Structure 1
Amino acid sequence: MADFLGLMKQAAELKSKMEALQAELDQIEVEGSSGAGLVTIRVTAKGAMKAVRIDPSLVKPDETEVLEDLIVAAHDDARRKAEAVLQEKMQGLTGGLPLPPGLKLF
C-alpha cells in the first residue's frame, strides 16, 4: 500500500511539474531563419507563431514564389528549434528518460 501511495504522490508531483513546464514553454521563444537571414520567424516552444520579419529586398511582385518558399523554410527552422527546446525541457522533467519519437505532450 505504501508503494501505491508513493506512486500517487509522484504522479501528483509530475502533474504539477508538467503544468509549470507548459506555462514556461509559452514564454520561451525561438527564432528560425532562411535565405541567410532574409526571412525570420519567431515561435514559442509550443510552436505558436509570434512574428515574421521579411527583408524589404524580397518584396518584389515577380518573386513571390521565392518569398513563399523562404517563409516555409524559416517556419520549419523555427519549429525544429522549438521541438529541440521542448525535448530538452522534457528530458529534465522526466529525469532523462527517452521519450518515444513523435510523442506529443502538448
Structure 2
Amino acid sequence: MKDLGGLMKQAQAMQQKLQDAQARLAESTVEGTSGGGMVTVVLKGTGELAKVTLDESLIEPGEGEVIADLIVAAHADAKKKLDAKQAQMMQDAAGPMAGLMGGMPGMKF
C-alpha cells in the first residue's frame, strides 16, 4: 500500500504540473508565415487569432484571393507550431509518467 500512496502523490504532482503548463501555454503566442514571409499571423496559446500582418505588395486590386489563401496557409503553419508546443509542454510536465498517461483516454502527448 505504501507504493500506492507514492503513486498518488506523483499523480497529484503531475496534475499540478500539467495545469501549470496549460496556464503557461494559454499566455504564450506562436507565429506562422506563408508566401515567403508576405503574410504573418500570430496565434495565442488558446488558438485565438491575435494578429495578421500583410506585406504591402499584396494590397493591390485583384489580389484578394491570393491574400485569403496566404492567410489560411499562415494560420495552418501557426496552428501546427502551437500543437507541437502544446504537446512538448504536456510531455515535459508529465515527466516520467508521460508513457503511462499517454495510453489513458483524454490524455494527449
TM-score if structure 1 supplies the norm length?
0.82
Q: Structure 2: 5+ residue runs without aligned partners?
A: none
* Residue aligned with 1:47, SS: coil
Q: Is 1:69 the equivalent of 2:65?
A: no
Structure with the higher helix share, 1 or 2: 2
**Which whole-Å CA distance do the structure 2 matches of 1:21 and 1:51 have between them?**
23
Q: Structure 1: 5+ residue runs without aligned partners?
A: none
Q: Which runs of at least 4 in structure 1 moved beyond 4 Å after TM superposition? A: none
**Which whole-Å CA distance do the structure 1 matches of 2:36 and 2:8 have between them?**
50
Root-mean-square deviation over aligned CA pairs: 2.1
What percentage of aligned pairs have identical amino acids? 42
Q: Deviations over 1:56-83 (max 9, x none)?
A: 2212331211010000000001111111
Does the 8 Å contact 1:30/1:43 carry over to 2?
yes
Count of aligned residue pairs for this structure pair: 103
Does the 8 Å contact 2:18/2:94 carry over to 1?
no
Which amino acid in the other structure matches residue 62 of structure 2?
Answer: D
Does the 8 Å contact 2:29/2:44 carry over to 1?
yes
Match of 2:37 in 1: 37
TM-score if structure 2 supplies the norm length?
0.80
